[in-house]
Structure 1
């Protein structure tokens, strides 16, 4: 890798950082403000849990990608055949289009706040802006652009801190989880998880890492990028919930602007709109990139090359994707409802990519010398199973649209603690194992280099 040290560092940590921060998008901002307004700090534990779960997913993704040197979709296709990857493609692209709708609506909403133009007009403008960014070649240097956009979201944290939230209630919301076995409650939990966990992040990070052809020795640095992005993600999302808890009107945007205005004065509209626009465009770009990467890996289309023919194919897919995502946003301008639906679909449609990812990680033939221990495999499948069970519980309760067990409050601390311990065990255990293997490989490479040099 050429360039100075900082450039090389950014090249390694950017995929994980962007995949984490891109989850702070229009879907998250709009829906989490609504959650804060409706439930105050009650669901903060879901944010903490989802962030930890997403760190696990992205670390798993980076490990499989850097060990194999291939994207996750390509690995699934080669190892498990087209039937399984077809389900993965269908669910991922469906999720991508649902999320793209709310991203375009969010970008349009931010432009409406700034300009006063009708929302349908600004959604069309947002579609053109997103197309212009991607088609103009900004995708070639997408990392630097997206990292800059992601950091603008930290302004939300400053506003939330200045609003002086009740620290004790915030801490209680994070550290004392509870759950009700009802459709209404579980749907909120799943929708929040869907704002923070999406299949596009898996395929974006995987394709980005594989495309850069990074050596396995960069694995621990990739982990660090994921953790840094997850920290920013959690701080911003918590700040958004705090902002929602401080508003006194169901009109989400109007309420947020009132809170922002009390903190930053006349610049409130600019601060809010900049964060919402940045999050929307960042995620919209990542969604389009991950869609191209997924199709390229599965059908060996090589859409991300500089070939004029391939770029034309990629352009057609991008245009069709933006139109498909824009139509729901133009038809239904209820952004809270669209954010809720997109969150539910995102969580449900992450199941197949996660199963494929876990199968790859547990496959000794794929991981080679980096194969996981039995304990790590058990931890992995425990976490994946919990995620699947949450989705099945919501599906079961949604059939009659009424609670099957009534509004029963159950102690969830034990189950959540078990899953959290499994995630922590994976992160700590794999960092230790991978760290030792990477050191051994570096020593081996250095020895080969010295031996070759001595023989010259």
Structure 2
């Protein structure tokens, strides 16, 4: 009888855990987009296992910052942009716009290019630009046509595509002792190439667009259930569990991508110039199954990430200029909001069709994120300590320490990178 009761309690806890998964899981999964995959592949190809340890530091930093953003959304029932607009000088908001818009559009273009390129590898008789146009059209239709709840449910299922990257290393049987060593013993090189990749890893993992998406999605979720949910310790606790799960999954996938490319491509290929090159290089070295899994993963994560990228950009612009906004609204109810979505995807597609190297765009975007993220983190920590905004839910000591630590690490990495760039 007692065992049966324990089993029921376990089932109840599991059902509760599955139920609370939402914005945090989707945000974490969206972080491993083709941009992230390219950056992690580049890290593994150039440095082998030497950057595996970064997954251990990015997880707690990322989880802390995203939890702060989520708390802002829950407590204020508004996105991060609206909070900045109400309580801070306008120049901070405009500075954020100047940096966020180009980087996000570049990111979208790079992701579309990566999806098209790996699709061409799987179906070589169809040109990659045809896939790019097809994917752009499908994404535009889904984002404009479906409600927020429908999109959120689709994104949850697309999170499963991340699991593909965890499978690959087990097909290849790495030296796990060597893996453990490089995971727990940091290898740091003070040169331009290593610091560029390190900043790119930080930038693509702790990306400013995710800060805005997280806060906005928590606010949207709260609006949908306003009659049932009030802010209390349980709501905050559930949110943190959701965020930690999403960020853990994101960093786990990052770890396995670096592991796969570090084991297979390092020492065989000197440079990865495109995301499809990373996928194609796996075929002769790791077998067709690994290659197919890697390629399909790029497509799945692209479908997951691009709605988040374009959605976060639309929320930023719409909230800045006071337009009606929301993925739950029809096109005619929020035309400005949806026109930003359409514009961002079409510009991203146009960038791809110019023939600019997708990987260069991806890495430059990640580095740009790495430069702008410290400023946004400082603002987020300040908001979370502002009792006027956060009321009884201001940061505790641990959250402040992690937020400041994230700011310091990212700032020092940028300063070191700029030093080596200027001195070389």
Shorter-chain TM-score: what band? 0.7 to 0.9
Aligned twin of 1:101: 109
SS of equivalent to 1:179: coil
Cα shift readout 1:93-146 (whole Å, capped 9, x = no counterpart) = 222112112211121123212221222332222222221221222644222111
The reply on whether 1:284 has 2:306 as its aligned counterpart is yes
User: Which region of structure 1 is more displaced relative to structure 2, 23-32 or 122-131?
Assistant: 122-131
Report deviation, 1:269: 5.5
Q: Note the 1:52-451 alignment, pairs <5 A.
A: 52-116=60-124, 117-137=126-146, 139-213=148-222, 215-217=230-232, 218-245=235-262, 246-247=264-265, 248-249=268-269, 251-258=277-284, 261=287, 264=289, 270-304=292-326, 306=329, 308-332=331-355, 334-373=357-396, 376-400=399-423, 402=424
Report deviation, 1:204: 1.0
Q: Is the contact between residue 131 and residue 319 of structure 1 (CA under 8 Å) also seen in structure 2?
A: yes
1:48 to 41, 45, 56: 56
Aligned twin of 1:406: none
The reply on whether 1:20 has 2:28 as its aligned counterpart is yes
CA RMSD after TM alignment = 2.5
Report deviation, 1:51: 2.3
Normalised TM-score (structure 2): 0.85
User: Which region of structure 1 is more displaced relative to structure 2, 121-130 or 289-298?
Assistant: 121-130
What is the alpha-carbon distance in structure 2 between the residues aligned to residue 388 and residue 68 of structure 1?
29
Structure 1 residues 228 and 352: alpha-carbon distance in aligned structure 2, compared to 1, 3 A threshold: same
SS of equivalent to 2:22: helix
- Identify unmatched segments of 5+ residues in structure 2: 1-11, 223-228, 272-276
Report deviation, 1:9: 6.3
Moved over 6 A (4+): 4-9
Structure 1 residues 340 and 368: alpha-carbon distance in aligned structure 2, compared to 1, 3 A threshold: same
Report deviation, 1:399: 2.8
- Identify unmatched segments of 5+ residues in structure 1: 403-456
Report deviation, 1:259: 5.1
Structure 1 residues 378 and 48: alpha-carbon distance in aligned structure 2, compared to 1, 3 A threshold: closer
